[in-house]
Structure 1
Amino acid sequence: MTPNARISAAIDILDHVLGGMPAEAALLRWSRSSRFAGSGDRNAVRDLVFDGLRRLRSRAALGGSMSGRGVMLGMCRETGLDPVNVFTGEGHAPLPLTAAELAAGQAPKGLEALDLPDEVWPLWQQSLGHRAEDVALAMRDRAPVWLRVNALRVDPQQAIAALQAEGITCQPHSELPTALMVTDGARKIAASSAYRDGLIELQDLSPQLACAALPAAKRALDYCAGGGGKALALAASGIGSVVAHDASAARMTDLAQRARRAGARIQIAAPGSVKGSFDLVLVDVPCSGSGTWRRTPDAKWRFSMPALHNLLQTQKDILDEVVPHVAPKGHLAYMTCSVLTPENGDQIAAFLTRHPDFEQDFQRSFLPPEASDGFFMAVLRRR
């Protein structure tokens, strides 16, 4: 595919996303109907779509319309591409621009420049204070790829060398050497022997920093395990017994295989089957995902206050549900990939009011760009 043909494909996909289709589903639909597209084409089109969604409002303003054509025209104007040379109508390029399209467009203003929905801004500003604009602007850029070195297999230097041999370059985080930021070759990770042999796992920096700050424990429960990334991190940290549980067994389908690959001992509990108490209970609850909007930018434009209120109730229910599993003097670690206070500090304050036998050890927010994704953790201790 030519560069212009890739832009034409991105226009079609963006129109479907703007019509309500999730970005991944729209990309898969295009890929299945475009067998001629190679892996390089698919990656390039995906990048165009995701970059367009991260900067949807600002590029639509520059392009003069909230449409796939408007967003890609805005991209041309923002990056210095001559749109007349892109919108040629030749081959598979987008159709030529009309006089109205050429005349339309202006510099983004207000929230357009921050690329945030109007509905989220008051809560965003209230939650982030003086960092509100900085974090919003960081969300307009692509997030870096981070890896976690599996200490059960190798040390950081061995992992870096193994990745380098396969054309993947990394640099360790200054405070957490087992966290590696990929500086080149990110698309090679999934096919690398370092990944297949369990030397490394894909995991963002923020949850790695959070897991590294957890208190020591002999027996831990990851109650909302999902794919199992944090359960694997707990096992690699030296905790003797790790139990992984999720309300949906389907989310943990690959965990047993990932644990074998990593050399980690993890017991997988069927939904609703957890028994007994644990020194450490981790709950990474369903949330708005507002801290990960540069990885899933279409979710930013689906944000709604009614959906947030439903999530707040789910978070409260999960917190209350796990209380019986926290041993006396044990710890409860509450995590979200959100930057919004109602899901974070407010949720913890309400929990402590309902459960006076718990007290807070500490809480911490991780914010981009310095901590990659936005993330929150509070660690509570049972008296």
Structure 2
Amino acid sequence: MTPAAHVSAAIEVLDDIARRRRPAADALKDWGIAHRFAGSKDRAAIASLVFDALRKRASAAFVMGNDTSRAIMLGALREARGFEAAAIAAVCSGERHAPAPLSDAERERLETASLDAAPDHMRGDYPEWLAPRFEAAFGARAAEEGAALAARAPVDLRVNLLKCSREQALEKLAHLAPAPTPLSPIGLRIDVGRGRGPALTAETAYVKGLVELQDEASQLAALLCAAAPGEQVLDLCAGGGGKTLALAAQMHNRGQIYAHDSDGRRLAPIHERLERAGVRNVQVRAPRGKADVLADLDARCDLVAIDAPCTGTGAWRRHPDAKWRLAPGALDARLKEQAALLEAAVRFVKPGGRLAYVTCSVLREENEDRIAAFLAEHSDFAALSGAALAEKAGLPDLARFASPHGPGIRLSPATSGTDGFYVCVIRRADR
């Protein structure tokens, strides 16, 4: 397939996504099944174009004065890839499988349109209904933060200190040109530019459990929990086990971690991951009907970690289609789940113990406002300031990311170069 044919195919996939409001991955998979002549490199090129268009959907539509799939794709070629009007016109030749030639109006928009007069939600490429919430979180920097969330993310790895040092991991993966992550002392970063990321799961270092795929913000969230060897830790929303593995490494396999999730299906990958990583201090507590599988942990835990279900606004760099499917009703549902989880966690925190609340959201409603509501109802808990949280974790430099809206640490692509995360640790009073 030619580059022009890739653009035509991307427009076709965007049409399918818009018409059926479905995840981009599903639409791309179906396109590939229906067009088996397309090789893996063709499918990768088309996927890259589709995701670039979804990252820049609002700004591309503003530039083109139209929100059709063709207009968004043409605008994204300019906004995401830096193509000039002449280069886009060359792609749109109308020959064979190329898109139809540019109209006079399209060419003029590509040559002259500016985002200077665009509202923040279009310059920042996020849904209009989230505009007041982004303003509440970021003030005058809302568009800048949105634009950073619309950029491509690098590939970050967490070094498993149970098996090797960061220096050893750098040597093992030297052929991928990794660099140490700027903030996490246990991370590596691989810049993939516009190309395909490496097949990391086939790398020997990954297969042997020396490294795990994990964004730097997620690494920092686990480090800020400050789990210590010998502690009793409950990971209440363990899912596939990413933070469980990170906490186990911090604890040097000493003490005990109880990995639980309300949906046992989400726990399925954890067993193989624990074995690969050499983790020996984790008990998996999957749900068993109406049985209370955590009854023996009442008031026993030094740390309860909640990786709360959220809107995922902080992870848009990795899932750009998710932001356009997000609806106000989803936020309302997540807020109820977060409140219920915080309430459920209280019973497990022993006197003097702590509760770590983590989201991959940038919205105040899911972060600082949620913590404020919890503290208003639980006078025996107090939140650590961002500076105190960073200091206790041995990462004092993170104090510069202390939230301006309340306790905790707030990370984002524009400020920290990571995914958007919020971390707050709440300590229970000694009796």
TM-score w.r.t. structure 2 length? 0.84
State the AA in 1 paired with 2:64: G
CA–CA distance in 2 between the matches of 1:29 and 1:143? 25
Unaligned runs of 5+ in 2: 386-407
Partner amino acid, structure 2, of 1:338: S
Q: Which 10-residue stretch deviates more, 120-129 or 107-116?
A: 107-116
Residue matched to 2:404: none
Q: Distance in 2 between matches of 1:327 and 1:202?
A: 32
The residue that corresponds to 1:373 in the other structure is 419
TM-aligned CA deviation for residue 263 of structure 1 = 0.4
Identity %: 43
1:23 matches 2:24: yes
Tell me what 1:59 maps to.
Answer: 60
Structure 1 residues 1-383: aligned runs within 5 Å: 1-19=1-19, 20-78=21-79, 79-81=82-84, 82-99=87-104, 101-102=106-107, 106-108=113-115, 109-110=118-119, 111-164=121-174, 167-184=175-192, 186-217=197-228, 218-238=231-251, 239-265=254-280, 266-271=282-287, 273-275=293-295, 276=297, 277-362=300-385, 363-369=408-414, 370-383=416-429
The one-letter amino acid of 1:11's match is: I
Shift of 1:147: 0.4
Cα RMSD after superposing both structures? 1.8
Q: Distance in 1 between matches of 2:220 and 2:104?
A: 52
CA contact (8 A) 1:4 1:92 kept: yes
Secondary structure of residue in 2 paired with 1:242: strand
CA contact (8 A) 1:58 1:112 kept: yes
User: d(CA) in 1 for partners of 2:90 and 2:123?
Assistant: 26
Whether the 8 Å CA contact 1:339–1:374 is kept in 2: the answer is yes
Query: Partners in 1 of 2:315 and 2:141 — Cα distance?
Result: 16
Question: Counterpart amino acid of 1:10?
Answer: A
CA distance in 2, matches of 1:312, 1:367: 20
1:365, CA displacement in angstroms?
0.7
Distance change (3 Å), C-alpha of 1:113 and 1:174 = closer
> C-alpha separation between the residues in 1 aligned to 2:309 and 2:178?
31
Comparing 14-23 with 104-113, greater Cα deviation is found at: 104-113
The CA distance in 2 between the partners of 1:180 and 1:63, in whole Å, is 39
Structure 1 regions of 5+ residues with no counterpart? none
Equivalents in 2 of 1:371, 1:332: separation in Å? 26
Deviation per CA, 1:73-123, whole angstroms, max 9, x where unpaired? Answer: 113344225233212233322233445544556333223222122110111
TM-score, length of structure 1 as denominator length: 0.94
2:305 alignment partner, SS class: strand
- How many residues end up aligned between the 2 structures? 381
- Per mean C-alpha deviation after superposition, the further-off stretch among 170-179 and 372-381 is 170-179
SS at match of 1:154: coil
